[in-house]
Copies of this chain bind each other. A is one copy, B any other.
Amino acid sequence: MPSFSVLFLPDHKQAVIEDNETILHSIVALEIPLKASCGGKGTCNRCRVLLKEGQVRSVSTGKLTAEQQAQGYILACQSFPVSDLVVEIPAASRLSEHRVVVEDSTITEAEDSAGTGATGAAHAGADITPLYTTIDLTIPAPTLDETEDDLGRLCRAIRKETGIEQFNPHLDVLRTLPSVLRQADWQVTVALAEQAGGLLELADVQPGSGDKKHYGLAIDIGTTTVAAELIDLANGRVMAVKGTYNKQAVFGDDVISRIIYTTENQNGLQELQNAVVLTINNLIAELGKELAVEPEDIRTAVIAGNTTMNHLFLGIDPTYIRLEPYTPAVKNIPPLRAHRLGLQIHPQAWVHCIPGIASYVGGDITSGVLVTGMADQDPLTLFIDIGTNGEMVLGNKEWLISCACSAGPAFEGGGIRHGMRSMEGAIEHVTIAPESFDVQCQTVGDAAPIGICGSGLIEIISGLRQAGLIDRKGNFVAGLNTPRLRDAAEGPEFVLAWSGESGNMTDITIAETEIKTLIRSKAAVYAGIRSMLLMVGLAVADIERIIIAGGFGKYINIRDAINIGLLPDMPLDKYTYIGNSSVAGAKKVLLSKQAREQIEDIAAKISYLELSVGNIFMEEFVSAIFIPHTDPSLFPSV
User: What residues make up the interface of A, taking CB atoms closer than 8 Å to B?
Assistant: 142-145, 147-153, 166, 168-169, 171, 174-179, 182, 196-197, 199, 314-317, 319-320, 324-334, 336, 340, 357-359, 607-608, 610, 612-613
Q: Return A266 CB to nearest CB of chain B, in Å.
A: 14
Residue of B nearest to A326 (CB): B144
Q: Is A314 a contact of B144 with CB atoms below 8 Å?
A: no
Q: Is B319 a contact of A151 with CB atoms below 8 Å?
A: no
Chain B contacts for A327, CB-based, 8 A: 142, 148-150, 153, 178
Identify 16 residue pairs between A and B in the complex whose beta-carbon atoms are under 8 Å apart, listed by A's number: A142-B325, A147-B607, A149-B330, A149-B332, A150-B327, A150-B329, A152-B332, A166-B197, A168-B197, A169-B334, A174-B316, A174-B330, A176-B317, A177-B317, A179-B319, A197-B199
Q: Is A150 a contact of B325 with CB atoms below 8 Å?
A: no
Q: How far is the CA of A317 from the CA of B169 in the complex (A)?
A: 15
Chain B contacts for A316, CB-based, 8 A: 174-175, 177-178
Q: Is B612 a contact of A150 with CB atoms below 8 Å?
A: no
Residue of B nearest to A613 (CB): B144
Q: Is B317 a contact of A149 with CB atoms below 8 Å?
A: no
Chain B contacts for A144, CB-based, 8 A: 324-326, 610, 612-613
Q: Is B171 a contact of A314 with CB atoms below 8 Å?
A: yes
Given contacts A166-B197, A197-B197, A357-B147, contact A329 B177 (CB under 8 A): yes
CB-contact partner of A149 in B152, B331, B334, B610, under 8 A: B331
Q: Is A328 a contact of B149 with CB atoms below 8 Å?
A: yes
Q: How far is the CA of A610 from the CA of B182 in the complex (A)?
A: 22
CB-contact partner of A314 in B174, B317, B334, B358, under 8 A: B174
Residue of B nearest to A361 (CB): B147
Q: Is A147 a contact of B340 with CB atoms below 8 Å?
A: no
Q: How far is the CA of A151 from the CA of B356 in the complex (A)?
A: 13
CB-contact partner of A331 in B151, B171, B612, under 8 A: B151
Given contacts A168-B196, A199-B197, contact A333 B612 (CB under 8 A): no
Q: How far is the CA of A166 from the CA of B196 in the complex (A)?
A: 10
Q: How far is the CA of A178 from the CA of B311 in the complex (A)?
A: 11
Q: Return A120 CB to nearest CB of chain B, in Å.
A: 21
Q: How far is the CA of A197 from the CA of B166 in the complex (A)?
A: 8
Q: Is A171 a contact of B317 with CB atoms below 8 Å?
A: no
Given contacts A150-B328, A178-B319, A329-B150, contact A171 B612 (CB under 8 A): no
Q: Is B171 a contact of A340 with CB atoms below 8 Å?
A: yes
Chain B contacts for A153, CB-based, 8 A: 327
Taking A174-B316, A175-B317, A179-B319 as known contacts, 15 extra A-B pairs with beta carbons closer than 8 A to each other, sorted by chain A number, are A143-B325, A144-B324, A144-B610, A147-B358, A148-B327, A149-B330, A150-B327, A151-B332, A166-B197, A168-B334, A174-B329, A174-B333, A175-B316, A178-B329, A179-B317
CB-contact partner of A329 in B147, B149, B317, B320, under 8 A: B149
